[in-house]
Structure 1
Amino acid sequence: MPLQTFEEKIDSLEPEEIPSILLANGFSQAWDHNIFNYKNLLQRANFGARDANIRDIFDKFDTYDFEQVMRALEAAEAVCETYGVDPAKIDEISTDQEQLKASLIQVISQTHPLRSSRVTTAQFQSAKPFIIRFDKIFTLNYDLLLYWIVNKYDIAPEGYYTDDGFRRTTWENVDSQNVYFLHGGLHIYDDGTTIKKHAFNGDADVSIVDQVRDNLNQGKFPLFVSEPTFEKKQTRIEHNPYLNSCFKALKNLSGPLFIHGHSMAENDRHIFNQINASGVDKVFISIFGDENSEANKETMANARRFIDTQKIQIEFYDAASAPIWQ
């Protein structure tokens, strides 16, 4: 039996059930799979003086996944410490971890579309009505697509406003917030005392990416969770006031939740744990392509493993049927 469509899942809700959504990488990949994928990021990454060494690790693991290589480096450091390997070599491994993280952040800002005008008016006209169907909007993505969508005030329906918690350029912990960047974003940064954002004006189409690059040149990095395991991601989140507030908001959620564009992988288990601890009673998960493929079978199995099916009803829908970038 084929997967039901997004609209069929929406129609299955009671009138009083207002869904929320959690967006993941598939949301961005559907806009441009060449920009938002690890292979492209790796090809354009610059690891500085350690470039050949770090790329050799990617080759040995036959992967484009920065997180997998980060996990391997962390494991190597732990093993070397246990066996009393030369401290200089351990320092080298630790330095490579920091280089990997820094290079990832830099290449993201370099490959990201420069301006919101790269998204066509027709795409905005499709994406905005899709997004505003949801009460609370969570994203695990670092890119600016969602940020651009919710700030496109000249796109119908006009008069629709979201609240990302920022007042002008400074974040404040307000109850009215309903847009949450759970793993940070290119437009968010810590200036040492407060959490700030680069403001986006849809009419002026000022390049936020240029602002991010300027910050990088000053040693200010985007607020970005790139830790390899869910435990380390959660530790990073809990030590930042903005990220921790967004994380708690997920736990405070109730009603139905759509998860769009996520492979339900282990490294985001901290997110699934928050959903399990929340008041969410239904989860609708997107599946892209053949539902019987090995990758999709694994996604569905992981969903049933990581989501508490004793208290939460799980259903799947066809990702391609969601009218986001059409």
Structure 2
Amino acid sequence: MRNNFQKRIDGFGLDREDEPSKYSELRWGKYKDKQNIHFFHGTLPIFDRGINIIKEEYGGEKLLLENIKERLAREEYPVFVATSNGEDKLNHIMHNRYLSFCYESLSKIEGSLISFGFTFGDSDLHIIDAVNIAAKQGAKVGNKLFSVYIGIYSEESQRHVESIKHSFKCMVNLFDAKTIRVWR
């Protein structure tokens, strides 16, 4: 089953494949049409350089975290949504072209969505809104999101998800996240 997964593409790549990586950066956009990995609230290795969104990479000489620390020392900051207010989160997302692309991609997802390690907290209603756009309420068939599977780690998170299930415009299924062996 594991070998049947499609190639994981985060949208980043070198400008030219024959260019040595020490003279180039991983830029976002070249492979965005095939992108199937999205960091909806950003991630530490992704930086917004104004014109380009770039991804820090492990260069063999230093650890990835060391490279990120050097960027921070140069006052370059990662694309990362860290506010606790949902409206501020959505505002931050919409003002960054990488994050807004991820949000729009979520709102176009088809079939089923699996949420692992994310239980749609109070400040994440914008994510539910994107899911509901993908669900195309009222459409009985066609290219739409039919269901969401949400991994549950505790009774508290189960109660929370049960309390917000009605907010989704598609079928919501819960599963015990502790039974999934992600790293095997």
SS in 2 for 1:181: coil
Residues 258-294 of structure 1: CA distance to partner in whole angstroms, max 9, x if unpaired?
11122321111111110010021011111124xxx34
The answer on 1:324 being equivalent to 2:182 is: yes
1 CA distance for matches of 2:58 and 2:106?
A: 25
Q: Normalized per residue, which structure has more strand?
A: 2
1:165, distance to aligned residue in structure 2 (A): 0.9
2 CA distance for matches of 1:286 and 1:306?
A: 17
Runs of 4+ residues over 4 Å off in structure 1: 132-135
Question: What corresponds to 2:141 in structure 1?
Answer: none
1:325, distance to aligned residue in structure 2 (A): 3.1
The change in CA–CA distance for 1:295 and 1:199 in structure 2 (over 3 A counts) is closer
The answer on 1:233 being equivalent to 2:81 is: no
Where do 1:93-172 residues align within 5 Å? 129=2, 161-168=7-14, 169-172=26-29
Of 163, 166, 182, the match for 1:301: 163
Q: Counterpart amino acid of 1:301?
A: S
The change in CA–CA distance for 1:184 and 1:205 in structure 2 (over 3 A counts) is farther
Residues 209-254 of structure 1: CA distance to partner in whole angstroms, max 9, x if unpaired?
1111001111111111112211111111111111111111001101
Q: TM-score, normalised by structure 1?
A: 0.46
What fraction of aligned residue pairs are identical, expressed as a percent? 27
Question: What corresponds to 1:285 in structure 2?
Answer: 150
The answer on 1:198 being equivalent to 2:56 is: yes
Residues 151-180 of structure 1: CA distance to partner in whole angstroms, max 9, x if unpaired?
xxxxxxxxxx32111122111163111111
Q: TM-score, normalised by structure 2?
A: 0.80
2 CA distance for matches of 1:250 and 1:196?
A: 21
Where do 1:235-314 residues align within 5 Å? 235-278=91-134, 279-289=144-154, 293-302=155-164, 304-308=165-169, 312-314=170-172
2 CA distance for matches of 1:177 and 1:294?
A: 34
Q: Is the 8 A contact 1:269 1:306 kept in 2?
A: no
SS in 1 for 2:100: helix
Task: Give the paired residue count.
Answer: 163
2 CA distance for matches of 1:205 and 1:223?
A: 24
SS in 1 for 2:33: coil
Q: Normalized per residue, which structure has more helix?
A: 1
